Amino acid sequence: MIRINNVRILIPLVLFIGILVGAGYEYYSSGNFQVEMMKEVNINQLMALSSIILKNTAAFLLLGLTLIVGKWFIILFFLINGFNIGMFSVHLSIIEFIVLFLPHGIFEYVVFYSESKVFIIDLDGSPSKAWLFKRLGFIYLGLVLAALVEVFITPLIVQYVI
């Protein structure tokens, strides 16, 4: 059974395992680590922002399935996300990975971690529905902040670092 005290260790561990498995899978399926130079891409920032918010919202709602299917879904969610991060990371240098993932990834991780904790608390039966929606609304604002960082701040960091 997943409890609040276990979450602090379990979620980061599962995410890390997912990253390792994803990186290993990508490495062995492609035959080598391919570090590609980043290419400059001109995209409309408003369109990028709306696309990222839409994808983040889908992930936020997907994690909400925990309320229907149970707490085990939290583990699956973080494992799959870690796997995807690991697969992508194989194609970047360490500096590129840090610059591209860390600025917004910290916010996204905290949001999904916090959302998971809310579902664990709710599934244990303590809070009211009003508390749940208020808390989830506040947490969702963190995803919007992550999208803003990804669209407007990360490209600036990339310009100066890479």
pLDDT for 93? 87
How confident is the model over 69-82, as pLDDT tens digits? 988 899 999 999 99
Rounded distance, CA 107 to CA 149, Å? 9
For the chain, the domains span: 4-161
In this prediction the pTM is 0.84
CB 35 within 8 A of CB 91: yes
Closest CA to 56 of 124, 107, 102: 107
pLDDT for 73? 93
Structural tokens at position 94: 């360490």
Q: Inform me whether the pLDDT recorded for 24 exceeds 60.
A: yes
